[in-house]
Chains A and B, each alone.
Chain A
Amino acid sequence: MAAKSINITLKIWRQKNANTKGALETYSLNEVSTDSSFLEMLDQLNEQLINERKEPIAFDHDCREGICGMCSLYINGRAHGPETGTTTCQLHMRMFSDGDTIYVEPWRSRAFPIVKDLVVDRSAFDRIQQAGGFVSVNTSGNTMDANSLPIPKDDADKAFEAAACIGCGACVASCKNGSAMLFVGAKVSQYALLPQGKVEARDRVLNMVRQMDEEGFGNCTNTGACEVECPKGISLENIARMNREFLKAGLSSEK
């Protein structure tokens, strides 16, 4: 397919820092190749802004191949834009038409404060992970080989699917309640399904859920928006598994 150029209007959230008020600014950008990715289009806009001696737009990005979870962006009312199962770096400008107006906003969540423009601080996810998203292993030198433990193929597959979560935060961004249950559900599930994770399962789910609540995320009302918008297709089954783990742990824990 031959490359085509389109002219677009962008409405982009600009905010100097966490303490100032932001607003949507309008930009015109001409001759955007439909083969370019959404992030390349923003690079092009930033070049234009720099040439005009204006402050370029800050946005998060890293691997640009859909696996790091760095890029975010709420594009035209949807996390990572109109395509499902993709991150913003994998979204291409061929999804848009000539003359389109495109809204670009940061993730909106109390737990993800804005650092600048479109960049949000997602360290709340790191703190949830640190509260229990790990397996304690004694590294004395005689650590057992993980493969020596038999694991049913189905469980291994499900754990792997849960572990595919890249922690981008699209679930929180698209949830009407700003809930992080899909992220936490995936992180709880990837360990709960494996024998290595069973040892600390009870404390893990209680600590991670407590941390999630402390960070100020909302509550899950099972709208299912997160599952649809998740670039890695993490299933709602993981939230149900976390709920089961939480009920089980809550009933039996002495804490």
Chain B
Amino acid sequence: MALTGLFLCTFLVGHLLGNLQLILKTGEEGRRAFNEYAYFMSHNPAIKILSWVTYISILFHAIDGILLTIQNKKARPIPYARNNPSKNSSTPARYMAVLGTLVLVFIATHMANFWYKMKISEEVPMHSFIVSVPDQSGQIQSQEFYYTHNLQLIPKDDNFSVKNGTDLYMSKMNIKIGEGYRDLHTVVMQFFSKDNDSALFAVLFYVLSMFVLSFHLWHGFASAFQSLGLNHKKYNAAIGFIGKGFAILVPLLFAIIPIIIYLK
């Protein structure tokens, strides 16, 4: 539990840095930055290995947590008629299993909303945009282009076609000339945008889930160190301080992103 928990804490930091691309830059620049990040996350071989370690960590952390909770419930078959645990332990510490289950529910919906569309159903469209310029006669001509990840612009017309999801080919000669990428940025923006009827619910659910995550981390961060035997009076204060700071800051930064998108 401790090892997977701490690994998932490092995952949160990486995920957060990626998500911050959604608000740090705006307009076409922001769109490109975030989509480039998404491209990197789904193509870099090291990240692919890391993502599998993350899936396995989440599953192990959840399954092991459930098994341990069942054992712990069995260890006290008859509950106390009167119990006063608030006198000896913090509330998040006593509700780790409940908090963890809620985080798991959030992860499931979160993956269905974004990860599944990006990786499995491939519903997320290619990143493309329309350039409008006046021709010699002064008439406005519009042309839609695919953006590739090495800054090529490839016209979206019959001369070019998309294969294997994001590869761009010259239709007649069947030669790969570039690699486009998916426009996850627009999907996320639309998901949390005020124009979307269900966005308010999505933002509230997201923010609420971040509160739950915060309480889970409030106990979990320092607890992982204790489980690994890292309890030393020289470092305990620092571990406690960093753990509490992490539990507040990381979920807070995650939560402000959908709020900012919604309010835009």
Contacts and interface: CB of A to CB of B under 8 A. Distances in A.
A243 B228 CA distance: 6
Contacts of A17: none
Contact of A103 (B74, B81, B87, B93): B81
A242 B68 CA distance: 19
Given A105-B82, A240-B230, A225 B76 contact: no
B229 A176 contact: no
Nearest to B1: A221
A240 B78 contact: no
B226 A236 contact: yes
Contacts of A240: 226, 229-231
A77 B231 contact: no
A77 B226 contact: no
Interface residues of B, number: 32
Interface centre among B75, B84, B87, B222 (most CB of A within 10 A): B75
A109 B80 CA distance: 10
A241 interface: yes
B137 interface: no
Contacts of B76: 108-110, 177-178, 218
B88 A228 contact: yes
A109 B230 CA distance: 28
Given A11-B81, A178-B75, A225 B88 contact: yes
A218 B69 CA distance: 9
A76 B219 CA distance: 26
B227 A222 contact: yes
Contacts of A117: none
B79 interface: yes
Contacts of B82: 11, 76-77, 103, 105
30 contacts: A24-B81, A77-B80, A77-B83, A82-B87, A103-B81, A105-B80, A105-B82, A108-B76, A108-B78, A108-B79, A108-B80, A109-B76, A110-B75, A111-B75, A176-B94, A177-B72, A178-B76, A216-B75, A218-B71, A218-B74, A219-B72, A222-B93, A222-B227, A223-B89, A223-B93, A236-B226, A236-B231, A239-B226, A241-B231, A243-B227
